[in-house]
């Protein structure tokens, strides 16, 4: 066990979306994605700039690697992949002067790192844990109870690989564009190809790791692709419900924690209350979050979870007055302020905010970000106002944009409502983000509108803005003021 004064690092790297977490005792000092420092979206490799920033807190005495490279190599050999073996110590020498600082390097278990990242940041002392992703070492899905693994499913059977294969089939990039597939589903007939997808893909015995681009080659129109997306989402949800039901039966719990990349399917997450009374999904449940999970799994203890604002820090007061003024004037304003979010979603510190009213704003923001016209945007609203606008109970919380709910007034706020009438809502309290909360308060007082559109502050194809230079580049590129 680490001494309280020891600085330790957790690292997830060399597969996709690399990240690094710095902890001392049970306190998270820093956590960030490598992509924010390299400018390469979903960069799988560490960055010397990321490492240099992390060293502000001192040299680590231990480095926790998020999975077992030996066990992973056996699966990669089985799958016929090239270069199956990765030596973390040799890999890390490309970024860190290991011979100088000489930290102990400790290997973890991929799914245990996922489980720990969510369980030990949760408010629960007892919970079922469901981990679902593409592949760990061999494990693709697992059910745990209070960090004791009860059941595992193994490669190539994988719900995550299924969804990634379907993402690839509709012409999107797997391991990156799954959320676009989810958005496409609202435009399709979910039952049209559901049976074919289930029989010919999910239950066929195909190794979905190899992709299914050749499946149903006659289905080529845009509507065909929407119908495939809708069918894929439905099949995913059917399997997700089976998994939740089994977890509830195995554990007898009323609380559930979700982790792994599949936990980012916010459309499916709306089904969780059918099986559990309470749930928790940390804001970075994919592999990047496992840099934190690797440490917590080894410590076998909760961390002092204070929220996702853990990255590069732009130190200046939150620009409430300039933001509201610009939003009232042009309807659009960017904010790059304070510590960056640890996770795939901008939650107020690296956000592009917009007035959700009016018929043209959704198209305007999609044009600025060079996104497909069908893509939806999320709203951010104060916790106490959420039930005024959305069909939820007054105590509904969604600080990390992880749940889909229906809007009571879709015609009033068209920029944040998807075709099916839903919104991926973010709630905020003053404790969670005082600057964003006070901006919403002032905006509501001045305009009578209780919410704002919130999307990530990034140039198409690039990561979310990280530092001051990135913010200046965004403002210059799009002609949008960033405060």
Instruction: Report the alpha-carbon distance of residue 34 to residue 49 in Å, rounded.
Output: 9
- Identify the pLDDT of residue 372: 78
pLDDT at residue 170, rounded to an integer: 96
Do 225 and 134 lie in a common domain?
yes
3-state secondary structure at position 31? strand
Same structural domain, 143 and 98: no
**Predicted pLDDT of residue 460:** 82
Domain encompassing residue 323: 310-478
DSSP state of 414: G
Q: What is the CATH number of the domain that holds 215?
A: 3.30.420.40
- Asked whether residue 222 falls in the same domain as residue 272, the answer is yes
CB-based contact 272:279 (threshold 8 Å)? yes
Give the model's pLDDT for residue 389: 97
Confidence of residue 82 (pLDDT cuts 50, 70, 90): confident
Residue 82 falls inside a structural domain: yes
Tell me, yes or no, whether 143 lies in a domain. Answer: yes
> Average pLDDT for residues 203-210, to the nearest whole number?
92
Q: Is residue 368 part of a domain?
A: yes
Report the C-alpha gap between 368 and 9 in whole angstroms.
Answer: 37
What pLDDT does residue 152 have?
A: 98
Q: What is the pLDDT of residue 2?
A: 60
Same domain membership, residue 253 and residue 207: yes
Q: What is the CATH number of the domain that holds 337?
A: 3.90.870.20
- Those residues with Cβ within 8 angstroms of residue 164's Cβ, 6 or more apart along the chain or in another chain: 134, 174, 175, 178, 208
pLDDT in tens, 301-321: 999 999 999 999 999 999 999
230 and 373 housed in the same domain: no
Instruction: Identify whether 2 is part of a domain.
Output: no
With cut-offs at 50, 70 and 90, classify the pLDDT of residue 459.
confident
Look at residue 57 and tell me if it is in a domain: yes
Query: Residue 375 pLDDT > 90, yes or no?
Result: no
Helix (H) or strand (E) holding 439: helix 434-447
Pair (44, 30) in one structural domain: yes
Query: Has residue 297 got a pLDDT over 70?
Result: yes
Shortest CA distance to 431 belongs to which of 305, 317, 336?
305
Residues 374 and 462 in one domain: yes
* Domain-located, residue 170: yes
314 and 257 co-located in one domain = no
Taking residue 377's Cβ as centre, other Cβ atoms within 10 Å add up to 22
The pLDDT of residue 294 = 98
Q: Given a cut of 70, is residue 150 above it in pLDDT?
A: yes
Distance CA 293, CA 120 (A): 8
Total domains, the chain: 3
Q: What is the mean pLDDT of the chain?
A: 96
Distance of CA 29 to the CA centre of its chain: 20
Please tell me the distance from the alpha carbon of residue 200 to that of residue 195, in angstroms, as a whole number.
Answer: 8
Q: Judge whether 87 lies within some domain.
A: yes
Q: What is the mean pLDDT of residues 86-101?
A: 93
327 and 459 both lie in a single domain = yes
Which of 236, 134, 207, 220 lies closest to 171, judged by CA?
220
To the nearest 10°, the Cα dihedral for 101, 106, 108, 114?
A: -30
362 and 387 assigned to the same domain: yes
């Amino acid at each position: 066990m680490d001494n309280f004064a020891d600085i330790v690092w957790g690292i997830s790297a060399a597969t996709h979306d690399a990240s690094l977490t710095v902890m001392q005792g049970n306190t998270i000092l820093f956590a960030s994605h490598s992509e924010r420092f390299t400018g390469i979206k979903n960069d799988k490799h560490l960055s010397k700039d990321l490492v240099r920033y992390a060293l502000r807190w001192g040299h680590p005495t231990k480095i926790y690697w998020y999975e077992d490279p030996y066990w992973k190599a056996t699966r990669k050999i089985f799958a016929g992949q090239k270069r199956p073996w990765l030596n973390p110590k040799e890999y890390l020498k490309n970024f860190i002067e290991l011979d100088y600082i000489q930290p102990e390097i400790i290997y973890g278990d991929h799914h245990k790192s996922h489980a720990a990242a969510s369980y030990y940041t949760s408010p629960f002392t007892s919970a079922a844990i469901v981990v679902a992703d593409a592949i760990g070492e061999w494990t693709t899905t697992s059910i745990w109870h209070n960090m004791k693994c009860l059941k595992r499913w193994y490669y190539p059977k994988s719900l995550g690989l299924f969804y990634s294969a379907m993402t690839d089939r509709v012409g999107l990039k797997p391991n990156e564009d799954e959320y676009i597939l989810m958005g496409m589903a609202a435009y399709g007939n979910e039952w049209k190809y559901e049976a074919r997808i289930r029989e010919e893909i999910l239950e066929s015995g195909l190794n979905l790791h190899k992709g299914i681009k050749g499946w149903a080659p006659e289905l080529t129109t845009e509507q065909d692709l929407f119908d495939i997306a809708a069918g894929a989402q439905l099949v995913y949800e059917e399997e997700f419900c089976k998994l939740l039901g089994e977890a509830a039966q195995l554990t007898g719990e009323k609380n559930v924690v979700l982790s792994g990349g599949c936990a980012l399917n916010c459309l499916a997450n709306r089904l969780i209350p059918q099986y559990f009374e309470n749930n928790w999904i940390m804001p970075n449940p994919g592999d990047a979050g496992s840099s934190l999970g690797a440490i917590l799994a080894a410590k076998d203890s909760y961390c002092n979870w204070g929220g996702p604002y853990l990255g590069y820090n732009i130190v200046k007061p939150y620009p409430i007055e300039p933001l509201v003024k610009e939003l009232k004037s042009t309807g659009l304003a960017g904010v790059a302020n304070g510590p960056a979010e640890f996770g795939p979603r901008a939650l107020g510190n690296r956000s592009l905010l917009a007035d959700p009213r009016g018929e043209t704003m959704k198209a305007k923001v999609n044009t600025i970000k060079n996104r497909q016209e069908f893509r939806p945007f999320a709203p951010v609203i104060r916790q106490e106002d959420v039930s005024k606008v959305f069909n939820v109970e007054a105590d509904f919380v969604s600080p990390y944009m992880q749940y889909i709910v229906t809007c009571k007034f879709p015609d009033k706020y068209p920029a944040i409502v998807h075709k099916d009438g839903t919104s991926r809502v973010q709630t905020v309290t003053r404790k969670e983000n005082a600057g964003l909360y006070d901006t919403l308060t002032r905006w509501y007082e001045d305009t009578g509108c209780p919410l704002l559109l919130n999307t990530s502050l990034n140039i198409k194809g690039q990561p979310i803005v990280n530092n001051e230079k990135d913010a200046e580049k965004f403002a210059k590129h799009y002609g949008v003021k960033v405060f």
